[in-house]
């Protein structure tokens, strides 16, 4: 249940991203669209690996559809792999340099990793593209405010030392 708000946000992002890609006149294979929809449902249900598999299969069918990279990045972020997510967002930006969802997502992933200054630069870019009042700008500003995600250390993983260091 703790991922429910995140899953809702991803679903909204997917709806906006999917319609934006189609609005540009890009025809997307129906099989790829079905796999993306399956991946979104799996991600919303918390089955990250199945979602990644669906998105990757869609990418094989439709390698030029940049929004699939945004979906892969969101799944990687949900899996705690912010570095991998950043790579996927940048791949999406190679296909569409003004993809606001990809710019915002990259900024959120950077903020989660602790690169707050870089995230702020991307926030300015998002605000320039969408006028500053869009959902992506609000989400990125909130991620910057939250700051980096601290790694969780379990008792079993701890070596017993009193000082715990980050990886």
In 3D, which of 12, 63, 13, 6 has the Cα closest to residue 35? 63
Tell me if 91 sits within 8 A of 101, measured CB to CB.
Answer: no
Residue 41 in this model has a pLDDT that exceeds 60: yes
The fold of the 4-146 domain, in CATH, is 1.25.40
Q: How sure is the predictor about 105, in pLDDT bands with cuts at 50, 70 and 90?
A: very high
Average pLDDT, the chain: 81
Phi/psi at 123 (5° precision) = -60, -45
Q: pLDDT digit string (tens) for 136-159?
A: 999 999 999 998 887 665 666 656
Structural domain spans, the chain = 4-146
Residue 94 in this model has a pLDDT that exceeds 70: yes
Q: Which residue has the tokens 């995600």?
A: 149
pTM reported for the whole predicted model: 0.73
The average pLDDT across 27-54 equals: 91
User: What is the sign of the dihedral through the CA atoms of 73, 75, 77 and 81?
Assistant: negative
- Cα separation, 39 vs 45, in Å, equals 10
* pLDDT at residue number 78: 92
- Cα separation, 106 vs 2, in Å, equals 22
């Amino acid at each position: 249940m703790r991922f429910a708000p995140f899953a809702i946000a991803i679903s909204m992002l997917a709806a906006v991203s999917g319609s934006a890609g189609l609005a540009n006149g890009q025809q997307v294979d129906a099989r790829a669209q079905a796999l993306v929809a399956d991946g979104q449902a799996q991600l919303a249900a918390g089955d990250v690996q199945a979602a990644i598999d669906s998105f990757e299969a869609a990418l094989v069918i439709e390698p030029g559809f940049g929004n699939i990279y945004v979906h892969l990045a969101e799944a990687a972020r949900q899996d705690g792999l912010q570095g991998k997510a950043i790579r996927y967002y940048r791949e999406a930006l190679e296909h569409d340099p003004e993809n606001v969802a990809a710019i915002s997502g990259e900024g959120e992933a950077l903020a989660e990793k602790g690169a707050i200054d870089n995230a702020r630069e991307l926030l300015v870019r998002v605000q320039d593209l969408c006028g500053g009042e869009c959902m992506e700008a609000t989400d990125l500003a909130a991620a910057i405010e939250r700051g980096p995600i601290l790694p969780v250390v379990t008792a079993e993983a701890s070596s017993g030392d009193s000082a715990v260091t980050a990886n």
